[in-house]
Amino acid sequence: MSPDKGLKHKPFSSLRGAVRTADASAPQPRSAPAAAAPLGRVVVRQELDATEGAVLTRVIGVPPEHRAPLGRRWRDELGHEVLVEGRDLLVMTDDVESVAAVLRAAGVSEMKLVRREVPPDLSRAGEPGGTLRSQIRRGLRVAIVQKADQEAGALTEGVVRDILTSSPEHPRGIKVRLESGEVGRVRRILSR
């Protein structure tokens, strides 16, 4: 083709009637965000935190989107710290009923409460005796755990010379000095 000869027709002009131009339509409304999952079945369980020697409440089965709001409610209404451990919430209180009341108000459909049963003669660590000062007296044969042996849990047996804890109760055991001079918390009462 020579440069002076151009096209004499418009090649796409025949398509003008065949193709409909799309009107710029109004933007489609976005779908509403999905509603938060309902609070279904939840388990509220009292547990012993062996490292701290305190009873806490574990809440199992709360959907992820409800964890932060419930944690804030427990902190604000009950005044207790709330931690997330895996999929569970740990409320730093032994008051299971107050924790359950917040869950009921949040709309839990089914709840199971599991209370920790502790016989009166056992320490909170689950061992016989030693948490009540009234149970300890001079001359009593006991097994203690010394501070250096706490992680290993090694017990030292002996006879009580002095009672060092002044409060009437201690969750990890009453602190005593044995006649041999060792100091530790009573884990077991060996003789009455």
According to the model, what pLDDT value does residue 158 have? Answer: 92
According to the model, what pLDDT value does residue 91 have? Answer: 87
> Rounded distance, CA 130 to CA 163, Å?
11
According to the model, what pLDDT value does residue 177 have? Answer: 96
According to the model, what pLDDT value does residue 128 have? Answer: 59
> Rounded distance, CA 176 to CA 138, Å?
9
Which CATH entry fits the domain spanning 133-189: 2.30.30, 2.30.230, 2.20.25, 3.90.380?
2.30.30
Which CATH entry fits the domain spanning 41-114: 3.30.780.10, 3.40.50.1820, 3.40.109.10, 2.130.10.10?
3.30.780.10
Digit-by-digit pLDDT tens for the chain (192 residues) are 555 566 666 666 666 665 555 555 555 555 444 455 667 788 888 887 755 667 788 898 888 888 888 888 888 888 888 888 888 888 888 888 888 888 888 888 888 888 876 544 444 444 457 888 888 999 989 999 998 887 777 889 999 999 999 988 888 889 999 999 999 999 888 875
C-alpha distances out from residue 134 to 55, 130, 162, 170, 182, Å? 22, 9, 13, 11, 21
Structural tokens at position 149: 């042996």
State the distance between the two ends of the chain, measured CA to CA, in whole angstroms: 120
According to the model, what pLDDT value does residue 66 have? Answer: 86
Structural domain boundaries in the chain: 41-114, 133-189
